[in-house]
Amino acid sequence: MVEDLRLDSLEGVGPVTTRKLSDAGVHNVMDLIVRGPVEIAEITGMEKDTAEKIVNKARQHLVEGGLIAKDFVSASEIYKYRQSIGKITTGTNCLDTLFDGGIETQALTEVYGEFGCGKTQFAHTMSVMVQKTKEEGGLEGSVLYIDTENTFRPERIVAIAQAHDMDPEKVLDNIIVARAYNSAHQVLILEEAGPVIEENNVKLIVADSAVGLFRAEYLGRGTLSVRQQKLNHFVHLLSRIAETYNCAAIATNQVMASPDVFFGDPTRPIGGNVVAHTSTYRIYFKKSGKKRIARMVDSPHHPEEEVIFALGEAGIVDPEEVEKKKRKTTKKATTKKAKDTEVEATVETPEVEATVETPEVEATVEIESDDLDPVEE
């Protein structure tokens, strides 16, 4: 642990308080900020005043160390600070355009959409991209992947890494997977994540799905407020961790049919407003035939726009890539000089190939965002 992040580096925090805090899962100065005074008092049993004093000291300590911004700053300082925020390329032109370069650190990016729209593929792709060098658009960092649906697949990571000329073994080594078995466990993983993030230079935290376990455990109208409260806690924690540790965070969210919507797309993200108000960026993924549409729904500074992407062996890909690959392999196949591997690659992605022939996808983009009809699959 970095020397001055130790709890006992704070004035007035002795071995007893340090013990009390670490027993409650608060391991360093960053964790104090992430949890905040109310929670610190709750989990340690200390007086609220004391907790407030400690958290304030922690904040001061981090401001002095240049690790977090001070309370009063000029807009130009914020502007300068924002320029130093890390961005992770998505590895595609289309989504990099949508994200204006890539997904940001110190922010929570929520991706929501129906089953099979590519949320998990996106999470896998970003887990590889964050490991790229800074010159290549990555952050040379590792990943904490919270898998709540048992859909993390190392095989996909290997394929994506290979497609980007990266060493698959190294890429796998830099992804720490935490399988969450229930919503309380999911929260606990995040509460305990501080030291893991720090020691492993984690630059991306994935929660796939952020909402699924909460949804499964809290059924029925009567439990809705408890569910939202717990989910709220998780999502806030995630976003505070992203800010404090300068990481990017991705939370995926399912959609459900909302019978009260008569016009437009009758699907709404399950987390509802709780997730929406916390995420800094919200992206809606939508199936459109074999292709996918990504729409920036809510962002403090991006225009609301849409792009088309595709899913392939390389994870999230540009639709042109699929087209190019198809043309290349068709040519090679006819001259019968194709290498086995390349032919195989296309054989494995018959779905994606088919998309090239789907002109109606282009038409969807012209439609006003509110009028997007669900595509029949």
Ligand X SMILES: Nc1ncnc2c1ncn2[C@@H]1O[C@H](COP(=O)(O)OP(=O)(O)O)[C@@H](O)[C@H]1O
Residues of the shown chain interacting with Mg ion in the complex, contacts defined by CB under 5 A:
119-120, 151
- Per CB under 6 A, the segment of 20-28, 77-85, 241-249, 309-317 that binds ligand X is 309-317
Does 212 sit near ligand X (CB under 6 A)? Answer: no
Which one among 12, 14, 65, 116 touches ligand X, defined by CB under 6 A?
Answer: 116
Residue number, 70 or 153, with CB nearest to ligand X: 153
Which one among 26, 143, 193, 311 touches ligand X, defined by CB under 6 A?
Answer: 311
In 261-376, which ranges are continuous DSSP H helix?
272-278, 319-335, 340-347, 350-355, 360-366
Return the one option of ligand X, Mg ion, none that residue 117 interacts with (CB less than 5 to 8 A, by type): ligand X
- Smallest gap from Cβ 152 to ligand X, in A, equals 11
- Per CB under 6 A, the segment of 48-56, 111-119, 238-246, 369-377 that binds ligand X is 111-119
Q: How far does Cα 14 stand from its chain's mean position?
A: 37
Buried b (16+ CB within 10 A) or exposed e, 273-304: ebbbebbbbbbbbbbbbbbbbbbbbbbeeeee
Please tell me the total number of residues recorded for the chain in this structure.
377
- β-pairing, 267-269 vs 87-88, is unpaired
Which one among 313, 320, 323, 342 touches ligand X, defined by CB under 6 A?
Answer: 313
Residue number, 5 or 157, with CB nearest to ligand X: 157
Does 253 sit near ligand X (CB under 6 A)? Answer: no
Does 120 sit near ligand X (CB under 6 A)? Answer: yes
Of the candidates 346, 295, 377, 369, the one whose C-alpha atom is nearest the C-alpha of residue 116 is: 377
Does 154 sit near ligand X (CB under 6 A)? Answer: no
Residue number, 214 or 245, with CB nearest to ligand X: 214
Does 91 sit near ligand X (CB under 6 A)? Answer: no
- Per CB under 6 A, the segment of 74-82, 86-94, 184-192, 306-314 that binds ligand X is 306-314
Binding to ligand X by CB under 6 A, coded x per residue (else -) over 314-353, reads: -----------------------------------x-xx-
Which residues 6+ apart lie within 8 Å of 313 measured at CB? 159, 163, 345, 348, 349
Return the one option of ligand X, Mg ion, none that residue 329 interacts with (CB less than 5 to 8 A, by type): none
**Is residue 206 within 8 Å of 146, Cβ to Cβ?**
yes
Return the one option of Mg ion, ligand X, none that residue 115 interacts with (CB less than 5 to 8 A, by type): ligand X
Binding to ligand X by CB under 6 A, coded x per residue (else -) over 121-140, reads: x-------------------
The rounded distance, in Å, linking the Cα atoms of 364 and 11 is: 60
The rounded distance, in Å, linking the Cα atoms of 121 and 129 is: 12
Question: Contacts with ligand X: how many residues (CB under 6 A)?
Answer: 14
Distances (CA, A) of 31 to 9, 23, 54, 230, 309: 14, 13, 12, 19, 38
Which residues 6+ apart lie within 8 Å of 17 measured at CB? 7, 46, 54
The rounded distance, in Å, linking the Cα atoms of 62 and 40 is: 18
Footprint on this chain of ligand X (rule: CB under 6 A)? 113, 115-121, 311-313, 349, 351-352
